[in-house]
Amino acid sequence: MVINDAVQLTVTVTLFVLSYVLYKIKVSVCCIFILLAVFTTRNTPVSLASMALERYIAIHEPLRHSQICTVRRTYAVIGLIWLISVTPDITDLFVTLATESLSFFHQSVFCLRHNVFKDPVLATKRLVFDVMYFSCVFLTLLFTYLRILFAARALATERTSAQRARNTILLHGAQLAMCMLSYISPSVELVLQLIFPGRILEIRYANYLIVYMLPRFLSPIVYGLRDRKFRRYLVMHLQSSRCRVKLAPASQEQPGPK
């Protein structure tokens, strides 16, 4: 998921910079950026559901966990996640190719999704799929959280492991809530533009930082700090850096050899 978020950030930042520098780009180039951004954005909630299921298996089938969650099956699940994420939105490109003339793809537009995929049927289709995706992910997280919560109460020997798994599911839920901001952000952005008509660029920039960048930056920080080995080395690094900062002024105050 961290690799997926890194790709998503790279694509969206590039697209954001291009929109400020060039303002308009060719439709064919915009299609590539939009589709990559959409694919990687949709990947995140499906990945969260898969990670929650893995934690569920680790708690309820601890002896079979290594047999069920093998590396080969993990690659298969990653491929399935990409298939689920790509299939609904690649149809937007096919519909646009069928309904628009070839000259349309040589035009220059401000690179927004509704400026490229303009068919109103596509907007309805996206809404239906978004509701389906997030409903399935939410129900998966709710189911795994409740089952792990019951396991934590019933199994005294696995209480610590179950508690960590429960906290992981809660983090997934928080990430899912932040991902859902991307589906209400267009409406919020439209309302703010009506209230502050002279601040369109500032509103769009703040919306991009809060909705798209902040959730992706939190993911590696949260999961990195929860790892014991990473946290231990991070503390050691911070302590050594603090010691170097303290030693540097002290060494400068010492008189040199006469």
Model pLDDT, residue 258 = 46
CA distances from 157 to 152, 153, 160 (A): 9, 10, 8
CA distance 238 to 102: 57
Model pLDDT, residue 155 = 59
Residues with Cβ < 8 Å from 137, sequence gap 6 or more? Answer: 45, 46, 48, 49, 176
CA distance 13 to 159: 42
**Residues 48, 9 contacting (CB under 8 angstroms):** no
**Residues 61, 68 contacting (CB under 8 angstroms):** yes
Average confidence (pLDDT) per 10 residues, the chain, 258 residues: 83 83 86 88 82 81 82 90 86 86 86 83 82 82 78 61 68 71 71 80 79 73 70 78 56 50
Nearest partner of 193 among 211, 205, 180, judged by Cα: 205
Domains detected in the chain: 2-246 (1.20.1070.10)
Model pLDDT, residue 76 = 92
CA distance 206 to 16: 12
The pTM of the full predicted model, rounded to 2 decimals, is 0.72
Residue at 164: amino acid letter:
R
Residue 95: both structure tokens together:
């519909």
Model pLDDT, residue 153 = 66
